[in-house]
Amino acid sequence: MTKNLFKEFPEIKTDKIILRELNFNDIRDMFEIFSNEEVMRYYDVLPHKNIEDTERLFFTYANDYKDHKSIRWGIINIENNKLIGTCGFYNFDYKSTRAEIGYELNKAYWKQGFMHKALNEIIKLGFENSHLKRIEAIVHNENKSSKMILERLAFKHEGCLRKRFYFNGEFRDENYFGLLKDEWQ
């Protein structure tokens, strides 16, 4: 059952990154990510204006984990022990054994393989240890990098819902991607 993710926070180590539970010492690095306009461009949340915005997000992630609503890993670069992004699962449907995946990465670390490595690891955990049957992602129409990384991970584009989401004065298209356990690797 997917609730296995909530027994003890799973830590994952690879040759390039560590995926671990976020802690309060990560707030400054999180602020660096969530205050960047380019990082937040397709996130449908305004960039953080102050550290208090980031503290609220940190506590939301922590409380949602305690309540079995979501799990969010910090992505740590092994070379410098810096938090460079986050990724995780949310919107669990326990009956249908599915969840959505979300992620963001500090701009200084884009196009270096960090997010592909992180997502591959949590997808593996989701399918092999947590018994998810389906993982979904919703991507802004113009976010070519996110679409590309999902396709490299074997996600299938399942459709575009036009003008589905209103944010910051405009309607946005949402692209839906899905990955089934039996399609993965």
pLDDT tens digits, 31-69: 999 999 999 988 878 999 999 999 999 999 999 999 999
Residue type, 99: A
Mean pLDDT over each residue of the chain, to the nearest integer: 93
Q: Looking at the domain assignment, is residue 37 inside a domain?
A: yes
Q: By 3-state DSSP, what share of the chain in percent is helix, strand and coil, each rounded to 5?
A: 35, 35, 30
Beta-sheet strand order (sheet of 17-21): 12-13, 17-21, 71-77, 82-93, 98-105, 134-140, 170-180, 156-167
CB within 8 A of 141, min separation 6: which ones? 160, 172, 173, 174, 175
pTM above 0.85, yes or no: yes
Q: Looking at the domain assignment, is residue 40 inside a domain?
A: yes
Please give the DSSP secondary-structure letter assigned to residue 110. T
Q: Looking at the domain assignment, is residue 147 inside a domain?
A: no
Counted domains in the chain: 1
Tokens (6 digits) for 162: 């036009």
Q: Which domain holds residue 65?
A: 2-133
- CATH number where 82 lies: 3.40.630.30
Asked if residue 30 has pLDDT above 50, the reply is yes
Q: Looking at the domain assignment, is residue 143 inside a domain?
A: no
Q: What is the largest CA-CA distance in the chain?
A: 43
Segment (H or E) for 128: helix 114-128
Average pLDDT over residues 6-22: 94
Asked if residue 1 has pLDDT above 80, the reply is no
Average pLDDT over residues 155-169: 90
Q: Looking at the domain assignment, is residue 49 inside a domain?
A: yes
Q: Looking at the domain assignment, is residue 57 inside a domain?
A: yes
Q: Looking at the domain assignment, is residue 149 inside a domain?
A: no
